Structure 1
């Protein structure tokens, strides 16, 4: 009886609560096949409320107040569809079937994922672009990001710099290397979860012409984000251990205002690698005011201050002695672990965006943005003292077995010290002790903790105009201007107990002053003071973009073009003792004009069969790093600077049936006249250099095929198969320049480096994945994928492929060289092929307007620790004679990173 009474009361209360509420529902279907479409976004534009279609294409909005609305349906593979909606006092509005048109090159609402490697990149890791922008509802793209991308797989072997990223039309790529610093918005997943535009490869974009890797643009207005409060917690064993996120979005309210606030914290006292930590925050504010149907103003401000300790690459000898989890960058200090390599980033940005609906068919988007802040990293520096690194070559057993050393006793001693754990980490106590002795003598500190800064201030103004010339012809025009002032300097972060540090080069030859700043000689620097180098890079950039798109029943054709101008100059604040005329003051200005064209054809044979043909030719200006090779010391550059040329094409066949979706793509890209730069020591027969090496006129070739198929075996079970088979190589023998203080004039042309047909070091060049997923009607899922990665190569040392490696420049007699031995020494190292197993599982719950979900991902389930993610040859092995010694090759062997084995990520969210 009590149960019956409670049920009656519950029904009455629910009825009262639902009085006056209007429910709006409908079913989304494919216009060609009549089949229901799952997981499309359905947005109530005026409120910002978003729902997703379920397995039968059904969606529903509850508690919709009277008024005039626009329903927008969008998603990967479908053209965006909008429908007006009038809501009165009715209790329920059923819209019936809403048909959407299949379009394989439509705007993509995808999800961007980043691996921890991208957040942990340093000067050695080549800034992996694993999982960069490839995550979307496209089968190949999502598999490449989530499954293969977890193991440093790069789609088509492209570098991060080939992807263009925008916020409200403002480009975010950096001026020094053209890459994107994703940790500037790391932790703001609720804001960046679904870009307004995400293109893959050479697909056309309405934001910019774009590079060969695609374009991503985020529209961060509160009205375009889901109207809700979202709370989440994540637990993982990756770089960080814990993550909390909270987001509140009002959507667009009746008074025309909309507000979004979001924040997160990610942290770990110690990550997966010993001696690392992670401490990251993120914040976001969005304020939107809709004045009328024509004008909307939007303020966006966000930032992500973070600190994290990085881990070292090591030679195989080090890993054999200390294990594959070894990290040389830390040591004990007062009972706590302290790292010398700490990366700090905080580059907040604020932008004001105006949306102007000029008419029914024309829109103008204008943004003004300003970004500032710094990106810095610490490392130990020393003056007239020994290298303190545990992995310094004189601490390695193999060094004492080299020809000329022949000291097996020392080799055995270091072997035992490494293996018994009495040696292998930084000795902070010893560093402080050495500085104490220097203090007593009134001398400069022997060791300090230095911090290298890059402080950028960037002003951007962009405007984008879109209109319809005819009902089937669209036109886009965009103009961008960007001005950047980049301050680069080294600062004393910690004197480590010392009284001061000398701003003098202790490698200066006799008779040289050694003054890093000759205008302020013998300056004693303290904590917070700049020393060794201090300069600015000033860059101005402007571009104009125009594109037209024509759509017919059987063909969609797009043609776009862009023209741009880039100018650089360097302004030095120190006068270097070796470059009295080329270090202080303003350098010459380098000016580059560039252009690009892109065309796209989509042939639509019927609702199931499509062929897409895309092509692009563009030129790119050198980056600041490439123009000023040794910018820390001087403003010198190579004599024949030129624009890079990119030629790329792709041909795709797309098949789409109710239960089977498939895509096969062939692609070819030729990059000509590019530049590559790196730093390091070169131990040559003639001389040892600490140098910046520059390859000029580099040609690279990328070609291969991408295959993907998704089959809906039953209503609950789907199977996916993906293959990426590529070959990415150097396509010529570029010019080799060495910039070093040890060279007269600051640099030297060493002629050609013979790199043609060597493989590019950009992750596995072949990747295969087979996955099966079960999605229950009760909203839980389980997925398993097997992944096989092949053809992964180490980065080669270009100097070792010059004639000077064998001293042929000075000694043309080749009789002392054995060709077979030379080929063996210069053979590129290839890692082993490896199999990886991934599992993901999750469950979602709905309680009225409340949603809850829990999901988990486990990568490398089999705990395979043999997988080498990447590696590079050291520059130091710079002569044929040296490399003949097996122990020398061990001491100065390639450095690499190993995968750390099984990893997991557990996430719980609550939304209302």
Structure 2
């Protein structure tokens, strides 16, 4: 009997506990429009429970198995004021909170866009493929359409380079010191971690974490407790850079003992992408460990990285595209029955962070992060010694080469016949790809002493970056907020060239086959490094895995202070922010180049820059639906290490008068949020001064009409102007049908004529590694930043049964090739005798200096999907098809080759064909399909 009573008691207690477990549900809606809001974070805290959920496509959220008690419910997200409410769970089976009404606020980091192309992801000047990426969590029409629709075709909001977008993890800035851009490959594939940034700002809007740049601030909070709890599995298939992607994530959420653990991993791969001869192989991992000690203190450890190995494609002239099509890639060739690509980029730079969150009281909090990042990036390419360029697109392999005459005379019938022979060899594939067998044969036959004629080399960058960041936020009064932040960052970069594959040879010469020195009447090559202390017979031999040609370090110290206050009233919010920053650079050479003995080895002079900035934001709240917003900013910005040391591989000499850039920007917006219509109209203006641009390449005839020089081009005093409007409207014409229209009309031009410098070993022989060629007349030329204007018209149907389909038409216009700056100098007009070319005419000069404008193109996109809810589980399938009409005429961008060094060559149509602009083409029709399961 006792056992029976005990059993009944246990059963009754179990039933009571089961009955006490409650499901809490609700729907997040816009208070002004009544529209459901998705991608908002919902937190439930109280007792032993601390859980988070994300609102889905219909604004719905739920928590299951919630025990009796009193809880604090918080709802927050980008573009809305935070919502907080106390709720009580008291034994009911389900607690339906109904509609949670949220107040729209365009001043809470409403939008944030970063559009990425593969050349930015790989930092390789020769990539043609594109992945358009988005970092945003927004309901703003312009943000969404710019990223998902126009952004698929290299459209950049306001024409801004990605170096103007600041990316932060736990407050720590990720942008690199050499070019100012964030390396997105370092967290590529970690979509479950980066899906919902903690903060995004668009343009110069204020941020809670940093002063920011022209393109805004994106900050990720990597605490597991801020992300979705449970398991997420996903598989994707696409025909872009990679073909397959798998992702898996597990998050415990914050447990009763105050601990939270989250792991996430992915793999993306393709044996061959849409571009011929390219492959993709990338992994990614994330580990988050969080300990909540009490309501005041939380400690979070984060580690993530993405080892990536991928090959790239080549930019091509129109002559090559006409023969081989837009997917042609000159970087690969057959070897032992497999495609081998010479350009392989490897990236693995893991990041480890420790973050302390201190809730000092209900009005103040302090967040502090220490971070350490290390690892390397490398990019391979073929190199050669005293031999011909092996590239299929080498100008001597082009049909147009046979028609070009140095004296400008017309080609003969024999020339046309020879050109046709090359054309046929291209078309039948005989000479259109790398011939790896010929390169190995050249090493076997021509290298009697074992030195390599051809080999594979890699340019390597090893970064070690240590950062400390702290951010204090407080409410000084009910209507006054204050933010103070400070950071310090030290970066040490080792940069060198490493022999990767000797291709059957024994070593590479430590010699510069482009430059010779005469000693005692005997000519010999300069040495790249004269400090080698090995035996005399081995001193000039560089073997596999050893450093070759250059080796140096760049050291950078950076510190900044940021202060911002926000004053809120019923009708007007005013935010004012200021920053002060200090940057120090120096180069430490590890090789002593024989040509630059006094400027290649050891520590250089230290270059110091003190910078400041001020910005303000004004938000006029006409009512709950109409807003006017204005932003204005002025700041100075230190140059990057690449700009300070233009020819750092060989020497530490910089140009005269280097200084911080000056940037002014302002915008004015009208924002409407009515029940069935959302709209935004913005006018913006940005002006930059004293920026630096650099490029590497060959110049024919620019310094001596009979010679070809490899040079580093530096423009000092570059100024640009960005002017335009952004218009966006979204109307809910039916409960299930939404129509949107977006227009972005911009004009981005060079506004100043910079000073033009060339670094060349030809000058180095005289002890001066660079020469000033005076003014480059770039003023009023268009800035090459993708389409300067874009238009989109779309419609989306959302069925109550959780499936949707959308279609959009997109027009991209006003896209220009980047102008070659040397052609706009006075030296370009000179002939062999150093006087103005006698054949020069005004009409001819206008023709050769006219900036190429690419054609306007129309693209059609389709997206569709369906979500499923099975109890506490959810699943979904979605897909997009871009460029449904398979338009293969779209040139996404391009650049004039600097090689054309004088007017005579520029006037020759065959020479212009040979060295015409190199262009990046769109991909034709692409698709992306995804399926996920979450529990």
Which of the five TM-score ranges fits, normalised by the shorter chain? Answer: over 0.9
Q: Provide the C-alpha distance between the structure 2 equivalents of 1:370 and 1:763, rounded to a whole number of angstroms.
A: 35
Partner of 2:916: 893
* 1:463 matches 2:463: no
RMSD: 2.1
- Number of the residue aligned with 1:824: 847
Q: Mark the CA change 1:716 to 1:670 in structure 2 (over 3 Å): closer, same or farther.
A: same
Q: CA deviation at 1:814?
A: 6.5
Distance in 1 of aligned mates of 2:682 and 2:625: 16
CA distance in 2 between partners of 1:780 and 1:27 (Å): 18
Deviation at 1:94, TM superposition (A): 3.8
Give 1:323 deviation, angstroms.
1.9
Q: Is the 8 A contact 1:646 1:671 kept in 2?
A: yes
Structure 2 residue 468 is matched with structure 1 residue 451: no
Give per-residue Cα distances to partners, 1:79-108, cap 9 Å, x unaligned.
122223444544333435533222112144
Shift of 1:27: 4.2
SS in 1 for 2:327: coil
Equivalence for 1:297: 299
Indicate which of 797, 815, 825 corresponds to 1:792. Answer: 815
CA separation of 1:616 and 1:158: change in aligned 2, threshold 3 A? same
Query: Alpha-carbon deviation of 1:176?
Result: 0.2
Q: CA deviation at 1:231?
A: 0.1
Q: Write the distance in 2 (CA, Å) between the matches of 1:482 and 1:647.
A: 26
Question: What corresponds to 1:672 in structure 2?
Answer: 689
414-423 vs 130-139, greater mean Cα deviation: 130-139
Decide which moves more: 864-873 or 131-140: 131-140
2:489 to 479, 482, 490: 482
- Provide the C-alpha distance between the structure 1 equivalents of 2:505 and 2:651, rounded to a whole number of angstroms: 29
- 1:119 shift after superposition: 3.4
| 2:423 match | 415
Q: Cα distance 1:37–1:287, how it changes in 2: closer, same or farther (>3 A)?
A: closer
Instruction: Report the equivalent of 2:11.
Output: none
- Measure, in 2, the Cα distance between the counterparts of 1:567 and 1:367: 22
1:241 aligned onto 2:243: yes
Cα deviation for residue 51 of structure 1 reads: 3.2
Q: Is the 8 A contact 2:131 2:152 kept in 1?
A: no
Cα distance in 1, alignment partners of residues 128 and 930 from structure 2: 29
Given candidates 200, 203, 221, the residue that maps to 2:202 is 200
**Alignment deviations for residues 497-521 of structure 1 (CA, whole Å, 9 cap, x no partner):** 1011101001112416510001228
**Matched-pair contact (CA < 8 Å) for 2:114–2:165:** no
Partner Cα separation in structure 2 for residue 469 and residue 336 of structure 1: 67
- Residue aligning to 1:493: 500
Q: Which residue of 2 aligns with 1:47?
A: 50
Structure 1 residue 722 corresponds to structure 2 residue 724: no
Q: 1:68 to 1:750 in 2, by over 3 A?
A: farther
CA distance in 2, matches of 1:720, 1:734: 42
Alpha-carbon distance between aligned partners in 1 of 2:563 and 2:205, rounded to the nearest angstrom: 15
Q: Contact 1:109–1:194 (CA<8 Å) still a contact in 2? A: no
- Quote the offset at 1:125 in angstroms: 5.3
Give the Cα–Cα distance (whole angstroms) in 1 for the partners of residues 484 and 831 of structure 2.
55
Equivalence for 1:274: 276
Q: 1:806 to 1:205 in 2, by over 3 A?
A: same
Contact 1:438 1:498 in 2 (8 A): no
User: Does the CA-based 8 Å contact 2:137-2:196 persist in structure 1?
Assistant: no
Moved more, 808-817 or 693-702: 808-817
Shift of residue 443, structure 1, vs aligned partner: 3.9
Which stretch of the first structure deviates more once superposed, 682-691 or 362-371?
682-691
In 2, distance between residues paired with 1:896 and 1:337?
24
- Alpha-carbon distance, 1:470 to partner: 0.1
My pick for the range that moved more, 802-811 or 821-830, is 802-811
Question: How far apart are 1:732 and its partner, in Å?
Answer: 1.1
- Secondary structure of 1:435 counterpart: helix
Whether contact under 8 Å (1:781, 1:842) holds in the other structure is yes
Does the Cα contact within 8 Å between 2:230 and 2:252 map onto a contact in 1?
A: yes
CA contact (8 A) 1:113 1:135 kept: no
Evaluate the alpha carbon distance shift between residue 449 and residue 883 of structure 1 in structure 2; reply closer, same or farther with a 3 A threshold.
same
Q: Is the 8 A contact 1:118 1:127 kept in 2?
A: no
Secondary structure of 2:593's aligned partner: coil
Pick closer, same or farther for the CA change 1:19–1:907 going to 2, 3 Å. Answer: same
Gap change, CA 1:128 and 1:333, over 3 Å in 2? closer
Match of 2:559 in 1: 542
Deviation per CA, 1:703-723: give whole Å up to 9, x if none.
000000000111110000000
Matched, 1:876 2:876: no
Count of residues in correspondence between the two structures: 897
Counterpart residue number, 1:105: 107
Q: Does the CA-based 8 Å contact 2:517-2:526 persist in structure 1?
A: no
Q: Does 1:437 align with 2:464?
A: no
1:72 maps to 74
Partner of 1:10: none
| CA deviation after TM superposition for structure 1 residue 133, in Å | 4.0
* Residue 518 of structure 1 pairs with residue 521 of structure 2: no
Deviation at 1:478, TM superposition (A): 0.3
Question: Shift in Å at residue 318 of structure 1?
Answer: 1.0
Conserved? CA contact 2:680–2:728, under 8 Å: yes
Q: Cα 1:807–1:251, aligned 2, differ >3 Å: closer, same or farther?
A: same
Distance 1:420 1:18 in 2: 75
Counterpart of 1:6 in structure 2 is none
Compared with structure 1, are the counterparts of its residues 67 and 115 closer, same or farther at alpha carbon in structure 2 (3 Å cutoff)? farther
Superposition map of 1:153-172 within 5 A: 153-172=155-174
> What's the secondary structure of 1:388's corresponding residue?
coil
How far 1:40 sits from its partner (Å)?
3.8
CA deviation after TM superposition for structure 1 residue 648, in Å? 0.2
1:858-877 superposed matches below 5 A: 858-877=881-900
Cα separation, 2, equivalents of 1:236 and 1:881: 47
Q: Aligned runs of 1:449-848 on 2, under 5 Å?
A: 449-511=456-518, 513-520=525-532, 522-687=539-704, 688-743=708-763, 744=766, 745-807=768-830, 811=834, 813=836, 816-848=839-871
Whole-angstrom distance in 2 between the partners of 1:617 and 1:192: 30
Structure 2: how far apart are the matches of 1:162 and 1:860? 29
In structure 2, distance between residues paired with 1:34 and 1:195: 25
Asked whether the 8 Å contact 1:77–1:105 carries over to 2, the reply is yes
Shift of 1:36: 5.7
Distance 1:737 1:36 in 2: 57
How far is 1:817 from its partner?
1.4
Separation in 2 of the partners of 1:866 and 1:31?
Answer: 46
Relative distance call for 1:53 and 1:273 in structure 2 (3 A) is closer
Distance 1:343 1:48, change over 3 A: farther
Match runs of 1:167-186 below 5 Å: 167-186=169-188
C-alpha contact (below 8 Å) 1:76/1:109 kept by paired residues: yes
CA contact (8 A) 1:466 1:474 kept: yes
Distance 1:660 1:424 in 2: 55
3-state SS of paired residue (1:887)? helix
Structure 1 residues 232 and 597: CA distance shift in structure 2, 3 A: same
Instruction: Note the C-alpha offset of 1:472.
Output: 1.0
433 and 97 in structure 1: CA distance in 2 versus 1, 3 angstrom threshold: closer
Contact kept, 8 Å, 1:109 with 1:197, in 2: the verdict is no
Quick check: 2:451–2:507 contact (8 Å CA) kept in 1?
A: yes
| Alpha-carbon distance, 1:113 to partner | 7.0
SS of 2:862 mapped into structure 1 = strand
Please list every run of 5 or more consecutive structure 1 residues that lacks an aligned counterpart in the other structure.
1-13
Distance change (3 Å), C-alpha of 1:61 and 1:414: same
